[in-house]
Structure 1
């Protein structure tokens, strides 16, 4: 080897040795809804690392992660789809793909990103690498409850028609299946961690509706047909998020619509097993990763409070007030801590989930959704 080649090789090795490695498994992003920015946070240090701006209207925003946990795909209310590189801490791509979007999902192989739209409706699917349009799926109405399902599939539901759709990208082209009769005005949906059961909540009639995605021809399954707001018209101050559902052992825990309750449902039979009276109308009912406790926050004007419910007794065991406008909660992957966004206090608060002790406050600008990178490896998140 020549002296020049040796010098170049030594220089390259020196550069590699001095490069600072970046591990993303301990990181997360917090939506700052008022400023169109996201806050990059570190779980172990309980600290903010960087602020990334220029993401548009994040007044109702969510995100998903690439399988390698490097990229976040942020879905803004203005129809913006923004790809954020959390290693370089900058925007890697952005497209405004609709007038009003309501969330999105990433395929199980990480190659496709789908966005659910209110205006003009339908779902648009993009290449996760380039953000180039792959498919445009008009549905004739507002689409809600968009989730990823195993086998390069997306499942979503249409508010106007009460249909659920399955968009299958496992082959060379796209195949769609339409399932009518899901119910009147479905408002949100969830999918179980194994990708088998898809459940949509109904705003226009009592009950919920499920699909068995393992069935050869999935058909609507009525769940809790006697429950809802139809028989007793209740004011609804904020629609609950079924994506904030809990799975504790053999039961689902779902936030009730218009009632001060959470509902317990047998995961195998989809029959009701109990109800827990709550402080207010629940928005999120989220299980600690081990399933023992369910943490619940509430709609305005009672949104300063959190209740913790024991999943064995189904009783409230702890109640506290983190501050004004508690919007979202996120557990660390093993559940030893929970991070809570308190919008009107301008803080993210970190609590020990065993002792309920507050461990840290992190300044944030109107924080809402909190998303740790561990979501990259979970179906439906």
Structure 2
């Protein structure tokens, strides 16, 4: 009797009878045997990243198959092609893109338990261990092998390179003095790194799927925006210990993912956009707004517009439409927001309502917006994720000044107070992704284009502290930083890197330069 044939036939019959449930059981068994030790029995992550659909947005299914089969270079992910059949690898790939049957819990208890203290607070020297200008440093995120580089903006050379968590997201944020940088990973891991001492200080997992983080203007707090669970998490920046987990719900109890959170420094508050309910939340950390207990804004009688008492009370702003991303004006009185459906509006944070609609077609990338003075008026310019154009808006009248046509949809736009140009990529284009276009900020037209590495994606320009040099990323595994003279547009130097996704100049960030994102 051929038991193999009988077993194969029985498996096929069970699969037909139960609509594939047998295959799912096989996939779970495969996962527990080969994956759970690194990625967690519940797929929430461990030494390896979480394997849930929301956390895998950047990994396409064909790439997931390849990763399981061949492993991932410069990580601990091994190749399974010698251990598993092609069908078993396919089953695993299907499993990790399937939502869990039970929504995972990640609250204050889990966050506290996850915290890792690498260095005791206050134990490191209060001066840099290097001779470079600490305010003209760059933090370069290299997604290719999950590292970051501290880069000297004067000598134009690396100082050190260190590993990061998988899939950093939302851009790092700095302490007000530029000493510390804070990273957020897609898996919700928040890391504090001491730039002056070149040391990782602490890590904590604030969520399962995080969008970004913001650091308060006084440097005391960090707030993390989560997709999963639907929370905002407040951390003490001294050691990344959690202060509060805020469930994000409307007045009827409907919960929402958080699209983004940013610091509104002049207002001493955080502002969050919500993905699933048409509201904006402002959360104060101003000690003068309420009585203080142990250094934190604490319980007090709710005033008008304050919906949640206690530390970091929520001030709700009701809207007619959802916001996915937003941008502040210079005074932080107004926020310009957009939805993925292309609806854009101006919300005044003082009167707590929409005050204008804006003509921003397609999908503007407001998180990459910049500002400058044009004919005596402040203007905002934003690239577009769907349309081949940069839109320039008058920030007094909220009218469109010009739609500047580009070679295709872009992602990043950058400038500096000391340059007449704005630099924009064609990152989302179907072609010409190797081009950086140069826009004259007074002529409002493309006046030059650069092709740093023909055939390779060029993206994310950032400037040195004085605006003298512009650094462009070649967004490939065998990538580079290509450094240009910002005045002559001539190439100066190239530094090999592994898919350098973004570069963040300390001075430009902490002074809230009009030419970069905040």
Normalising by the smaller structure, the TM-score range is 0.7 to 0.9
Change (3 A) 1:46 1:207: same
Asked if structure 1 preserves the Cα contact closer than 8 Å seen for 2:136 and 2:464, the reply is no
Taking the aligned partners of 1:182 and 1:369, their CA distance within structure 2 comes to 34
Give matches, 1:52-201, under 5 Å: 52-53=162-163, 55-139=164-248, 140-149=255-264, 150-171=266-287, 172-173=297-298, 174-181=312-319, 183-184=321-322, 186-201=323-338
RMSD: 2.1
- Which has the larger Rg? 2
Taking the aligned partners of 2:458 and 2:279, their CA distance within structure 1 comes to 33
Partner of 1:274: 402
Taking the aligned partners of 1:90 and 1:291, their CA distance within structure 2 comes to 34
- Runs of 4+ more than 4 Å apart: 19-23
| Secondary structure of 2:172's aligned partner | strand
Partner of 1:220: 354
| Secondary structure of 2:434's aligned partner | coil
Where structure 1 has 5 or more consecutive residues not aligned to the other structure, the ranges are 1-18, 230-238
Offset at residue 313 of structure 1 (A): 1.5
Offset at residue 291 of structure 1 (A): 6.3
Offset at residue 47 of structure 1 (A): 0.4
Taking the aligned partners of 2:187 and 2:447, their CA distance within structure 1 comes to 40
Aligned to 2:151, which of 4, 21, 41?
A: 41
Bigger helix share: 2
Offset at residue 328 of structure 1 (A): 1.4
Looking at both structures, which has the greater relative contact order when contacts are Cα pairs under 8 Å and sequence separation is at least 6?
Answer: 1
Partner of 2:391: 263
Change (3 A) 1:301 1:39: farther
Aligned to 1:294, which of 419, 422, 425?
A: 422
Bigger strand share: 1
Aligned to 1:342, which of 471, 474, 478?
A: 474
Deviation track 1:229-262 (CA, whole Å, cap 9, x = no partner) reads 4xxxxxxxxx653222121202111223421111
Offset at residue 153 of structure 1 (A): 0.4
Aligned to 1:370, which of 503, 506, 518?
A: 503
Where structure 2 has 5 or more consecutive residues not aligned to the other structure, the ranges are 1-128, 249-254, 288-296, 299-311
Partner of 2:346: 210
| Secondary structure of 1:283's aligned partner | coil
Taking the aligned partners of 1:296 and 1:98, their CA distance within structure 2 comes to 33
Asked if structure 2 preserves the Cα contact closer than 8 Å seen for 1:265 and 1:271, the reply is yes
Deviation track 1:18-47 (CA, whole Å, cap 9, x = no partner) reads x86664112111001132211110000000
Offset at residue 301 of structure 1 (A): 3.2
Deviation track 1:171-230 (CA, whole Å, cap 9, x = no partner) reads 32222111121524x2211223332221112212x43122223x2x321233325x424x
| Secondary structure of 2:330's aligned partner | coil
Change (3 A) 1:193 1:64: farther
Asked if structure 2 preserves the Cα contact closer than 8 Å seen for 1:85 and 1:92, the reply is yes
Instruction: Give the TM-score of the pair, scaled to structure 1.
Output: 0.86
| Secondary structure of 1:334's aligned partner | coil
Asked if structure 2 preserves the Cα contact closer than 8 Å seen for 1:34 and 1:58, the reply is no
